[in-house]
Amino acid sequence: MALFKHGRDHRLPLYQQVRDELLDNISSGTWLPDVPIPTESELAKSYEVAIGTIRKAVDTLVNDGLLYRSQGRGTFVRRPDFNASLFRFFRQMSSDRRFVMPTSQLLSKTLKKPSLQAASALKIDVNDNAICLERLRFLESQVVLTEEIWLPAPLFSSLIDLELSDFGNLLYPFYEQQCGQLIASAKETLTIQTANSYIAAALKTAQNSPVAVIERVAYGYDKTPLEYRISHGAAETFCYQIEIA
């Protein structure tokens, strides 16, 4: 039997052991989005298991949303589309009532101890170093969101020496390009709070006025927390819209 990278746990069904090995190829970046993974025949030969075992292992990763099959092209690592996820339900609305994506400006990048919330979300110690990004999001030249973004320093050390102008408008492709860290999923929680003096000044709204607060924890393919983000936006600029069939 071919050697598995992390050994064999014979308590698990064989397809699940293979599934864990395939997941390691995804989470480690061995298999990248937009590039077909090896065929089932090639994987069966590599792991010295039946094609049916490989197919069942791949099926579980497809069902989990980590892989997808493209007819006639092969099987690929799924790249989630986060471009509009923050605004899927609470989106900024332009003056002519169109939903548009804001632009961004990075204000600061510091290496420091994480906040209690960031440490808890990232599962790191409060004494560990973390990278903190402060960013504004604009809509038609008006600030609509403030963002505080925390990243575990060991995984994102390549960002420490970069200039603020080096950062792109979309951070997740930038993380992948600069650090090899791929965001696979995220969990968001939205609450309504009141604006403190800093948030009110940034959003040009009254202190203690209602603001929507979106907390996001973003994860890698292996469910390692990679980013903690907290965003504030004036409540009147948000629009909740959902279709119920």
Average pLDDT rounded to a whole number, residues 11-17: 87
Q: What is the CATH number of the domain that holds 39?
A: 1.10.10.10
Question: Does 138 fall in a domain?
Answer: yes
Share above pLDDT 90 across residues of the chain, in percent, rounded to a whole number: 53
Same domain, yes or no: 147 and 166: yes
Q: What is the pLDDT of residue 89?
A: 44
Same domain, yes or no: 105 and 153: yes
Question: Does 32 fall in a domain?
Answer: yes
Q: What is d(CA 58, CA 50) in angstroms, rounded to the nearest whole number?
A: 13
Same domain, yes or no: 116 and 235: yes
Q: Could you tell me the pTM of the whole model? A: 0.75
The more confident residue out of 5 and 124 is: 124
Q: What is the pLDDT of residue 90?
A: 44
- Cβ atoms of 190 and 200 within 8 Å: the answer is no
Q: What is the CATH number of the domain that holds 207?
A: 3.40.1410.10
Which residue spans within the chain are E strands per DSSP?
Answer: 67-70, 74-77, 90-92, 103-112, 130-139, 142-152, 185-194, 210-219, 225-234, 238-240
Q: What is the pLDDT of residue 100?
A: 63
Question: Does 18 fall in a domain?
Answer: yes
Same domain, yes or no: 152 and 203: yes
The domain boundary residue, chosen from 46, 77, 108: 77
Per-position DSSP letters for 165-210, written without gaps between them: GGS-S-HHHHHHHHH-PPP-EEEEEEEEEE--HHHHHHHT--TT-E
Could you list the residue range(s) of the whole structural domain that residue 34 is in? 14-77
Q: Which of 124-128, 193-197, 206-210, 240-244 has the lowest average pLDDT?
A: 240-244
Same domain, yes or no: 219 and 156: yes
**SS3 category, 139:** strand
Q: At 241, is the pLDDT very low, low, confident or very high (cuts 50, 70, 90)?
A: low
Encode pLDDT of 25-74 as tens digits: 887 778 888 889 999 999 999 999 999 999 999 999 999 888 999 988 99
Question: Does 49 fall in a domain?
Answer: yes
- For residue 90 the two structure tokens come to 């609470």
**SS3 category, 19:** helix
